[in-house]
Structure 1
Amino acid sequence: MGILSKLGIYFDEVDKIRVLEPEICNQTNELKEQSKIYIEKINEFQKISDTFILLTSNLANEIEKRKMKAIGAHNMLQNMTKEKENHCQQLQALISEKSIELERLKVQLTSLQKIEMEQTEIINQLTHTQ
């Protein structure tokens, strides 16, 4: 170790004067290069992460849209089922009304037939007695 080395002055491989030891200078430069590579990888990771987040966000939006469509279709189906049930109930009520009316008309027909028979009998009696 020379006098200059004791004072903190060194010469590198091309005989330039350095304040740092050449080995420490080389290690610093190596660390600087590794840091650059690390930063580049971090930036690349950030870009990939941003892309992934964007894709998952878009996918989540699409899923939400389809979910809402499915809910809408399900609600429409439920409404159609309820409407069908209501329509069936209305038809059953109409059938009941018509059945009641049919029974009333049958009774009325029987009554009118009875009256007709009685009148026919009276007419026959009147026409035979004369």
Structure 2
Amino acid sequence: KDDCHKFIERMTEFQSVVDKYIAISDKLAAEVEQEKLKAIGSRNLLKSVAKDREMQQQQLQALVLEKKIELERFKIQLNALKREEAEQNDLIEQFSMQS
């Protein structure tokens, strides 16, 4: 009878240890899952930031190209205006000489 009582006592202790181990394992599993979700979130955020940066870079490159084209157009317009100014100055000079 005494042996049975000791056996039951040991089994109860063993069950208690197993229950604690399972509780600790469950807690660790939950923490691991939480960290895993954080890591996935961080990775997704990083990908999003990288895509945003790439898109912004493409937009800036398009803007630079647009401004270069605009600059070239202004240079052509400036040269045309300089020629027109020179022609008008020549005409003014000719009229001044005729008077």
CA deviation vs aligned residue, 1:70-108 (integer Å, no higher than 9, x gap): 111111111011111111111110110010000001001
Q: TM-score, normalised by structure 1?
A: 0.73
CA distance in 1, matches of 2:24, 2:70: 68
For residue 61 of structure 1, the aligned residue among 30, 38, 59 is 30
For residue 66 of structure 2, the aligned residue among 86, 97, 100 is 97
**How much does 1:46 deviate?**
0.5
RMSD, aligned CA: 0.9
Q: TM-score, normalised by structure 2?
A: 0.95
Q: Unpaired runs of 5+ in structure 2?
A: none
**How much does 1:61 deviate?**
0.6
| Paired AA for residue 102 in structure 1 | L
**How much does 1:40 deviate?**
0.9
Report which structure shows greater RCO (CA 8 Å, sep ≥6): 1
> Share of identical aligned residues, percent?
43
| Paired AA for residue 89 in structure 1 | Q
Aligned residues: 99
| Paired AA for residue 72 in structure 1 | G
Match for residue 80 of structure 1? 49
CA distance in 1, matches of 2:96, 2:54: 61
Which stretches of structure 1, 4 residues or longer, exceed 2 Å deviation after superposition? none
